[in-house]
Structure 1
Amino acid sequence: MQEKIKEIADRVHELRELSDFTVKDMAEYLKVSDETYGRYEDGTEDIPASILFEIAHKLRVDMATLLTGEEPRMNIFTVTRDGKGVNVERRKQYKYQNLAEKFIHKKAEFFVVTVEPKPYGTKPETNSHPGQEFNYVLEGSLKVYIHNNELILNEGDSIYFDSTYEHAMEALEGKSAKFLAVIM
């Protein structure tokens, strides 16, 4: 996984320089410190998927370009077969599978996210990012932490929220949970 993080970081660094943006420009745009952004680019800190989405937007490239190094080509439709989405190792507590990486100029990113259960009493790490997010529970149950609230979502439930607020998801009942995440 560390090698993949470094490859993505190198692509972000190269594209930022080619786009004539400074580290400070990017950090301000992403609302993170210069130091945090620097760690993203040198590969010492994993870039959250939501931040990567914003970086792609700022650099005017598709997120798939940052993830895979390949430019998406589909502009009318793209099909992703069951289990065949590109696996994205973004945060240790979640497993992401990108569902539309081949479509160019997307207005949102689509993932199936798997959350594994944690030991009892372990609260998940929260994150925040620019934009909005929609999550629809496909399997299992989730506890969603968002802005001092804790909500339980079961299969078929959904939540739409301002993702600039700290949030996290936790699998319940000792079983993994899956949800469709749309990041805009």
Structure 2
Amino acid sequence: MDEQIRQIAERLRGLREVLELKVEDVAKDCDFSVEEYKKAESGESDISVSMLQKVARKYGVALDALMFGEEPKMSSYFLTRAGMGTSMERTKAYKYQSLAAGFKDRKADPFIVTVEPKADDCPMTMNSHTGQEFNLICSGRMLININGKELILSEGDSIYFDSKQPHGMKALDGKPVKFLAVII
């Protein structure tokens, strides 16, 4: 098991235990299947940012606390120098770099996301979460699927969408794609 996924799984379990909730309670409250949540909490499967965001919002904790194990402290501003954001690799295919990890009570979660290319026959992982999302392609090309509609985005292109819609992305041309994702 990947060390970062294991640590996130421990934080999910710890939050549930502190709140004195059963696995079934969290699954119901956050609209997950019990099996899906058990796999996340045990570290048996990848844990999506959308899953962490649902849990964080439902129970009033900072997304950073679940992702990185740190509580944000800044309230006036938080500066992230180029390449210095707190990062997490959920899988070998996705790397998230938080651009506002230290800012508390923020209304949006901005990330630089790097998606590594996968084999053409590899299925796209779909996610959905409450709110809205903005993506701006910084480098590379990406296929994005939003509720069955497929669009190709190139460097400089952006998209804003209702993130309750199932969505997924895939790097194109056998090269990584890097984009700014703002989850609101």
**TM-score (normalizing by structure 1):** 0.91
Deviations 1:41-73 (A, max 9, x none): 122122101111121122211111122222211
Cα deviation for residue 27 of structure 1 reads 0.9
Mapped contact 2:4–2:88 kept (Cα < 8 A): no
Cα deviation for residue 121 of structure 1 reads 4.6
Task: Map 1:12-161 onto structure 2 (within 5 A).
Answer: 12-161=12-161
Deviations 1:59-115 (A, max 9, x none): 211111122222211111100110001111224422111111111112221110111
Unaligned runs of 5+ in 1: none
Structure 2 counterpart SS, 1:164: coil
**TM-score (normalizing by structure 2):** 0.91
Structure 2 counterpart SS, 1:64: helix
Cα deviation for residue 20 of structure 1 reads 3.1
Distance 1:3 1:67 in 2: 12
Q: Which amino acid aligns with 2:49?
A: A
**Residue 10 (structure 2) aligns with:** 10
Distance 1:83 1:105 in 2: 23
Q: Which amino acid aligns with 1:47?
A: I
Q: Which amino acid aligns with 2:109?
A: E
Distance 1:4 1:162 in 2: 28
Cα deviation for residue 135 of structure 1 reads 0.8
**Residue 173 (structure 2) aligns with:** 173
Cα deviation for residue 174 of structure 1 reads 2.4
Distance 1:110 1:83 in 2: 14
Q: Which amino acid aligns with 1:144?
A: I
Give me the CA root mean square deviation. Answer: 1.7
Deviations 1:24-47 (A, max 9, x none): 221123211111111111221221
Cα deviation for residue 123 of structure 1 reads 4.1
Distance 2:19 2:108 in 1: 22
Distance 1:61 1:128 in 2: 20
Unaligned runs of 5+ in 2: none
Mapped contact 2:30–2:58 kept (Cα < 8 A): no
Structure 2 counterpart SS, 1:66: helix
Question: Is residue 164 from structure 1 mapped to residue 158 from structure 2 by the alignment?
Answer: no
Deviations 1:107-128 (A, max 9, x none): 2211101112223454422222
Structure 2 counterpart SS, 1:133: strand
